[in-house]
Structure 1
């Protein structure tokens, strides 16, 4: 394992970060399997290469700034557009099929999810407005914050595009890691001072790709000043000298400086002063920020800036709405463009530069939005899924879930937060939680391609007080390819159903040949004769003309060799190939039929298990006499104990997931051009040999 680690680190793998989970759980075999997997290395090298190429553009050539390429290189923007186009094409050719035979295009389902920019923007604004309503009800203050990296992370000046002399070669990912470390220290100190905040933070790039944070947070009014001091202290700790701040980070540094001052005074023949007296002239970090005034706040605006939310001037959501839209689709709630991007010097609209921001975040792996505090949004999604088209049952034991569901369905995030326990509720204390199950396969926990147990999958919601479960995902889905689209008509009357006996279809147009004709035209005797003629021409030209350049001679010889190999292959049999294609199509239809039957059997078994649970719950509510009448009397105590235990720790229902059939690999669709060409060439040779 040590040898593998050294080789992997030499190839750019951050071993202890990338495999932290596997190391903690002791899945060392999974690490070895990954290191022997070509697909895993392909993804790794693609990511490493693209980031290093971008660092050459930005860090070495200084091409990423407002005067040249805003936010990221245009090569990266083009690659991102091509990637999204490929993904859209793949989604459009995939189907989701359940046990009832219902089919949905995957692209249509994605458009109705948070992957749709308009839906994602609307949900973020709803959640921010909900936090604002909670803050107003509690009398809390709103604070808008901007946190920026030190100068050493910035590559270029904005107006001139000139190189920054303090730049140390850091990448945007390094800058993002720095901001995360700063925020972790801020949250730790806020917790020590019993300051609990809630809200959202947004990450966006400066003109040169260096990230910075915007945050909208709510807190008790009396804690606002201490919150500002704590954030400013940690945000300005790195390179605080460039801000004109004079203090020592630790008391040991101050004492050492006092010794140096004492020695300098003695060398000049002045009276000796005590170290404590000299050290008292200088401040350490905590002392400095505890006494910081408005002038210090003004001096550090380049690094940390605060703005108090004035409820009389507008909503708090309005302060951050611009930054939400700027990083998603550049539009407001009405679908209108929000205007020009402030970072652009040529007046580009935010709707245009959002493509640059998306490419920047995707390349560097930067999370753009994060909720601070409040209940998990995944429960909100499941409740909206369950009660989207029906009202919750107030008589249900899951009454609190019903109230939360109504709030979720109405888009009232503020009420949902209150029902779930408030803005500071812990996940374990939420009255409504997610219900998850382990995916099962052949009676065992399913494993991924590297032999690791699959994570639990969401199946519904759970009332923590009663143990009642409401399943929100009742169908078993299978992913498969869609059928081919409608082909071009072969005749002008193919849709006619009343042809006369003496009326003959038109001859097939040369513009619309059949597949068999295309195959014969490309691989038939005529094509083979053309290959031979081309080879003979090259041989004659090389024999007669000695003035052909060497480069052309080499190219002709390579082409002649390829033509010889093609001529040695057996003649293509188009009819047998078409029969093979039809056989493959029938085989795929049989796979889909078997998957539907298996999913239907799994659903029936799941429904029977749920009916038994409901029956036992009904007997429990009717009392002991019901147990005796049902024949369970002698087992009443055991069953009641089991039900109580189930209420505390709900039993995991065996998973009924169906492993999707392995159809044609998606990798063949997304493969690089060179690799795809080689693979297809090898397949053609094999098929020709068979036929």
Structure 2
């Protein structure tokens, strides 16, 4: 055994476990007393987590040794910091003041730096010190000067940091699957407040008609039932497209290396080789792996399409299920490439070749690939048609925990690959009246109104690869400097569909928010709820719009045909 620096005190100590006890005993030297005092100060900095941190540290001392346990403890403390602030003790008022300070500092940087390259470098350095990794573009330069952007960012990092540390100390496990119970309770309170805000906030249009935000929410894809139906309908259309074109399909399950899992084996014991990765970091790893594989396949001329579903293991570590389609002669190369990239990190570890990535070919005797995917769609949206999850727990519990997990760590659960823009499909479903004189757009409108996603795919150029799409969506209520949808008391509603050099306006009634007596303002809700704000963003089905534009199609919807030059300014 040699000597190493202590992560708690910075002093050089022996790496022998026998010479570094955790508790104070008579006769211990000054170094050990300093370590004990440093641990106590660390626990005191996080009163919300002190008991759990202390208990977990004692377990790690016995299983991993004091030095490794102290190292992990310091990393937990470091994860709970935003700059020099301890996020576990930040109040809403402190977050508001802190956001204002950061916005003001960024304004000074922008004002002082006249050179564009120097400005980007200065902002990048400043954000990096706060663990914010984003590409510095014109949109971000404007956003970082706003305190509202910083409030959302701090709330998000606070929520994620607390959940990550709780997972790290073993509070997300088989008993409390996917997310710890404290984060789950916080999520439940947020949902209650959000629903209250939706039900108590009233909107009124120019004709005097009033509706609550809850009515818009319930009739949009924010509603789990509508979301599930749309996801399955889209996948059915894709599967029909694949069969029509003679493409072959198969299923893929992709997991991360064992060092990224908090629990080992079936989740019965803590993983001694855990590297500290939180679910967000694992998701970023999987996305990078996927992007590299897609880039390699693109260079080989292999195109594919399908659906990716991200869901958690019991300890919150994400893994992916995918349904992929490609040309039959490309199946072997596609599988080989995905397998190579999946084993790129720690590919020689025990069980990696067997469990890291698995492929299952379609068995037509058991139904199409849609049957395989519907299970993952249902259990991650509303649990329709299911009673319990794979651990024997009620499906309602799984759905709630998985939803809380995805929102806490900002993990996108569903992503279609190689698909035309879904927002155009939703916009077309709002247009009830035929579009005479528009031979390209009218068949698309009819297919969307009929719910025929297969026909929509064909008319939009199909699936996979780089396709030329005949229709583009052009929202008018957009800030072209930041890319954000403009908001306020009065909503700007016009959305244009560009097709054949003609802009078609999706015309709707204009709604104004009338704040109810007991409903807090959106600004107050943002300070209460953090990054997501008071409401979940949703889009529309055929009968009503979601909260992206907060509009309702009128019976006398008007379409104005204009050339791009005649389009009104946003």
2:396 equivalent to 1:367? no
Deviation string, structure 1 residues 301-349 (Cα, Å, up to 9, x no partner): 30000011123320211011111111111113xxxxx13211x2xx212
CA contact (8 A) 1:460 1:469 kept: no
CA contact (8 A) 2:267 2:315 kept: no
Seen in structure 2, the aligned counterparts of structure 1 residues 138 and 312 have a Cα distance that, compared at 3 Å, is farther
List runs of 5+ in structure 2 lacking aligned partners: 1-108, 110-120, 487-491, 520-553
Aligned to 1:379: 424
Seen in structure 2, the aligned counterparts of structure 1 residues 483 and 56 have a Cα distance that, compared at 3 Å, is closer
More helix by share: 1
Give SS of 1:176's match.
Answer: helix
Tell me how far apart the structure 2 counterparts of residues 97 and 369 of structure 1 sit (CA, whole Å).
34
Deviation string, structure 1 residues 606-643 (Cα, Å, up to 9, x no partner): 98x95xx68xxxxxxxxxxxxxxxxxxxxxxxxxxxxx
Identify the match of residue 324 of structure 2 among 210, 217, 221: 217
Seen in structure 2, the aligned counterparts of structure 1 residues 160 and 85 have a Cα distance that, compared at 3 Å, is closer
Tell me how far apart the structure 2 counterparts of residues 27 and 431 of structure 1 sit (CA, whole Å).
31
Figure out how many residues of one structure are paired with residues of the other and give that number: 410
Aligned to 1:678: none
Give SS of 1:241's match.
Answer: coil
| 1:223 CA drift (Å) | 0.7
Tell me how far apart the structure 2 counterparts of residues 89 and 236 of structure 1 sit (CA, whole Å).
47
CA contact (8 A) 2:173 2:267 kept: no
Identify the match of residue 160 of structure 2 among 48, 51, 60: 51
Matches within 5 A, 1:300-449: 300-332=353-385, 338-342=386-390, 344=391, 347-387=392-432, 390=433, 392-393=434-435, 396-424=436-464, 426=466, 429-438=468-477
| 1:45 CA drift (Å) | 3.1
Tell me how far apart the structure 1 counterparts of residues 123 and 267 of structure 2 sit (CA, whole Å).
47
| 1:421 CA drift (Å) | 1.3
| 1:43 CA drift (Å) | 3.2
Aligned to 2:18: none
| 1:227 CA drift (Å) | 0.5
CA contact (8 A) 1:110 1:116 kept: yes
Give SS of 1:405's match.
Answer: helix
Give SS of 1:341's match.
Answer: coil
CA contact (8 A) 1:328 1:354 kept: yes
Aligned to 2:186: 79
2:566 equivalent to 1:651? yes
* TM-score computed with the length of structure 2 as normaliser: 0.67
| 1:243 CA drift (Å) | 4.4
Aligned to 1:274: none
Aligned to 1:295: none
Deviation string, structure 1 residues 98-142 (Cα, Å, up to 9, x no partner): 222222111011100000000001100000010000111111111
Tell me how far apart the structure 1 counterparts of residues 166 and 476 of structure 2 sit (CA, whole Å).
47
CA contact (8 A) 1:435 1:459 kept: no
2:510 equivalent to 1:476? yes
Give SS of 1:399's match.
Answer: coil
Give SS of 1:312's match.
Answer: helix
| 1:435 CA drift (Å) | 3.3
CA contact (8 A) 2:139 2:483 kept: no
Tell me how far apart the structure 1 counterparts of residues 569 and 366 of structure 2 sit (CA, whole Å).
55
Seen in structure 2, the aligned counterparts of structure 1 residues 196 and 26 have a Cα distance that, compared at 3 Å, is closer
Give SS of 2:190's match.
Answer: helix
Structure number with greater Rg is 1
Seen in structure 2, the aligned counterparts of structure 1 residues 146 and 27 have a Cα distance that, compared at 3 Å, is closer
Tell me how far apart the structure 1 counterparts of residues 296 and 127 of structure 2 sit (CA, whole Å).
37
List runs of 5+ in structure 1 lacking aligned partners: 245-298, 333-337, 440-445, 486-602, 615-645, 656-691
CA contact (8 A) 1:201 1:370 kept: yes
Seen in structure 2, the aligned counterparts of structure 1 residues 100 and 205 have a Cα distance that, compared at 3 Å, is same
* TM-score computed with the length of structure 1 as normaliser: 0.56
Seen in structure 2, the aligned counterparts of structure 1 residues 651 and 454 have a Cα distance that, compared at 3 Å, is farther
CA contact (8 A) 2:164 2:279 kept: no
CA contact (8 A) 1:404 1:416 kept: yes
| 1:162 CA drift (Å) | 0.8
CA contact (8 A) 1:158 1:207 kept: no
CA contact (8 A) 2:477 2:494 kept: no
Give SS of 2:354's match.
Answer: coil
CA contact (8 A) 1:204 1:211 kept: yes
